[in-house]
C-alpha cells in the first residue's frame, strides 16, 4: 500500500546535469518549519539528495551551488567547513562531527534525476507561502 502522505515524484534535472564531484542542483522546499532548499549531487556515479541544512547551525551548505571539497570526495559546508560523506550524509569532520544531513529519496532513470518527496520535506510550490 502506498504512503498517502507521499507527494508526487518531482523531476529534478537531467542526469547529465550532475557530474561526479561537480556542482549540485538546488530545489526550493518547505520542511514544515520554513522554506529552504534541497540539493542533488553525483558522487561515484550515483545521485544523492539532501536537505540543504548543515547539522551545525542549520544554514545552507553551499556557495553558489558548489557543495564538494576541491578533491570532490566530501561535501563541505561553506560556513565553517564541516565535511560530510556524499553517499551517506554523515558528518566526518568539523564542528558537527557525527551529525548527519537529512537524506532524500532519489532515483536516476531514463536520463533524469527524480525525487520522491516524503514526510515534511516537500517542493516549495506544494505549500502555501
Ligand atoms: S554552519 Fe555548517 S559548519 Fe557551521
User: Within a domain: residue 42?
Assistant: yes
What is the domain-level CATH number for residue 18? Answer: 2.102.10.10
User: Within a domain: residue 87?
Assistant: yes
User: Within a domain: residue 4?
Assistant: no
CB of 59 sitting under 6 A from ligand 1: yes
Kindly report the protein residue whose alpha carbon is nearest to atom 1 of ligand 1. 57
> Which residues partner with 51 through β-bridges?
38
Domain hosting residue 90, numbered range: 10-122
User: Within a domain: residue 63?
Assistant: yes
pLDDT digits (tens), the chain, 129 positions = 445 466 789 999 999 999 999 999 999 999 988 899 999 999 999 999 999 999 999 999 999 999 999 999 999 999 999 999 999 999 999 999 999 999 999 999 999 999 999 999 999 975 554
Q: Which atom of ligand 1 is least distant from the CA of 59?
A: 1
User: Within a domain: residue 129?
Assistant: no
Short-list 22, 24, 27, CA closest to 12: 27
The total domain count for the chain is 1
User: Within a domain: residue 89?
Assistant: yes
CB of 99 sitting under 6 A from ligand 1: no
Amino acid at each position: 500500500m502506498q504512503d498517502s502522505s507521499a507527494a508526487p515524484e518531482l523531476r529534478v534535472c537531467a542526469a547529465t546535469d550532475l557530474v561526479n564531484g561537480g556542482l549540485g542542483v538546488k530545489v526550493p522546499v518547505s520542511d514544515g518549519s520554513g522554506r529552504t532548499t534541497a540539493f542533488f549531487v553525483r558522487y561515484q556515479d550515483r545521485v544523492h539528495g539532501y536537505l540543504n541544512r548543515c547539522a551545525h547551525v542549520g544554514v545552507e551548505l553551499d556557495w553558489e551551488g558548489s557543495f564538494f571539497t576541491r578533491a570532490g570526495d566530501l561535501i563541505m559546508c561553506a560556513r565553517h567547513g564541516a565535511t560530510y560523506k556524499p553517499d551517506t550524509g554523515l558528518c566526518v569532520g568539523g564542528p558537527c562531527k557525527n551529525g548527519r544531513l537529512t537524506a532524500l529519496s532519489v532515483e536516476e532513470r531514463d536520463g533524469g534525476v527524480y525525487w520522491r518527496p516524503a514526510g515534511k520535506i516537500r517542493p516549495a510550490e506544494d505549500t502555501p507561502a
